[in-house]
Each structure stands twice: as structure tokens, then as C-alpha cells.
Amino acid sequence: MKNELGHYIYGRRAVNEALNAGRLIEKIFIQFGSDGDIIEEIRTKARQKNVACSIADKMKFNDMEKRIPLERGSAQGVIALTPLLTYSDIYELIDTSLASQNYPMLIALDEISDPFNVGAIARSAECSGISGMILPVDNTSPITPAAFKSAAGALEFLPVSKADNLVIAIRNCKAAGFTIIGTAGTADFTYTDPGIYEKPIVLIIGSEGKGIRPAIWKECDAFITIPIKGNIESLNASAAAAIIMFERNRQLNHT
């Protein structure tokens, strides 16, 4: 099924990775005076893929940033106009995950309101070999241009499934053999305990402030925690997700 993700990708690295991934791009806008190796790469790849590049003067480019809306200068002189991006169906995501890895992990976000966190989590997920991400329609930021930029191209490779109802999506995963693991301050296991990743897992990441919602909490089979030794009570959601995902990667690569 198809849904809107953003229509725009901005930032030099994000646009370059979109071209590398073969993402459909309708047009690329480059601010007049923008230069450097990556700008030349973007122009070269755009020519090879028959993607039109338009040079916009500073006033026009700033106006584009304002209309998207973006903070002035955050696009780094490059904005790509994209068609709709295809989300993976939840059943397709489950099937491909189980077929591709012995112990796949999916990551589901709950009440992650900051698009930069969503993008950062996607980036860590793709880099650590996670099979895909589940995004609820409500209670979590959608994939916005800011999320695309924060993901630095990861969303061109990481399958994303959009869940109208996260509880139902989790139950579908559980029925297929996934263990549902939530993150919490007090938990059954610490994230470094051996053997906890040797099964198909859906990892639930909640917000730093509220954590996982009660309805999602009830669906979890177990909880893991990252011990904190400092004075503040919790990590940023994207930092916590990255720590757990890369620890899983480390453990599975040493078994």
C-alpha cells in the first residue's frame, strides 16, 4: 500500500543516498553557489538517471525551505522532490524478516514525537542490520523531511510498515513467532544479558518522558533496561535504541 512520507528529501547526504538507492526523484533543486564534491556527485547521478536539476537563486531557495517548512539553511543547498514512498505491509515485513535472518529484530516506536529521533533510530536500525521498523499512525511522528535528513539515507534501505493500530501490529508479529520486548527503567533483563537476542524480536521503544503506553506494555513478553550510572534518569530514545540494537548485533556476530 502507498502512503505519503514527505514529498521532499533535503540535505546533501540524504539526497545523495536517495539517488544511490534508486529512489524515484522527480526533480532536484540546488541553491545557486552550492559546490563541493557531494554536489557534483548529485549532479552527475541526476544526469545519469535523467532527473532534472534546477538551480534556484538564494531568495527562491529560502522560500522553498520556508514553504516545506524547514529552518533556513538546514537543506544544505539541496532539496529533492519525490513521489509517494511505498510502505511495507506488516505481513510482508514479517515474512521477509523471518526469511532473511535466523533471529530478526523489528523495531516499533511508541510516542516518539520528535522526527529527528525517528530518523536517528532508522539510521541506527539500518546500520545494525535490523529487519524493519513499525510506525503507528497515531502517537508517533510520521516520516517528515526532518526525519529523512536525520536518517541520512537509511530510510532508502530500511523497510517501514505503518500501523493503523500498533497493538494489532504487535499481535500479528507475536502470532508469527516474535517475542515482544519493551524497554523500561526497571526490567527483567539488562541489555547485555547473554542469549536474549537469540529469537525473533520486536523491540518497543517508548518516549523518554512517558515510556511505553499501558496498552502496548500489556503486549510485551519481557522488558530490558540499560543501567544508568549518572544523575539523570533516562537516555534519549534514539540513543537507547542504538545501544540495544548494536549490542544485539555484537552478540549475534559472536555466537
Last residue of one domain, picked from the residues 64, 86, 108: 86
109 and 154 together in one domain: yes
Among 86, 121, 136, residue at a domain's last position: 86
Return the pLDDT at 210: 81
For 115, the enclosing helix (H) or strand (E) is helix 115-127
* Owning domain of residue 140: 90-252
Question: Where in the chain does DSSP place strands (E)?
Answer: 2-3, 8-10, 27-31, 52-56, 78-81, 85-86, 105-110, 132-136, 160-163, 179-183, 189-190, 201-206, 222-225
In the prediction, which pLDDT does 81 show? 86
- Among the candidates 24, 58, 86, a domain finishes at 86
Q: Are residues 11 and 108 in the same domain?
A: no
- Shared domain check, 222 and 140: yes
Based on the domain organization, do 106 and 231 belong to the same domain? yes
Same structural domain, 180 and 193: yes
Answer yes or no: do 79 and 102 share one domain. no
Specify whether 136 is located in the same domain as 101: yes
Residues 6 or more apart in contact with residue 77 via CB below 8 angstroms: 12, 30, 31, 33, 34, 39, 61
Same domain membership, residue 142 and residue 82: no
pLDDT (tens digit, 9 = 90+) per residue, 92-144?
999 999 999 999 999 999 999 898 999 999 999 999 999 999 999 888 887 87
- The CATH number given to whatever domain includes residue 144 is 3.40.1280.10
- Does the reported pTM lie above 0.85? no
Beta strand ranges found along 25-99 (DSSP E): 27-31, 52-56, 78-81, 85-86
Asked if pLDDT for residue 149 goes beyond 70, the answer is yes
62-73: b (≥16 Cβ within 10 Å) or e: bebbeebebeee
User: pLDDT by residue (tens digit) across 156-169?
Assistant: 899 999 898 999 99
CATH number at residue 71: 3.30.1330.30
Domains contained in the chain, number: 2
Chain-centre distance of CA 220, in angstroms? Answer: 21
Verify cis geometry, omega within 30 degrees of 0, for the bond prior to 69. yes
Q: Which amino acid is at 254?
A: H
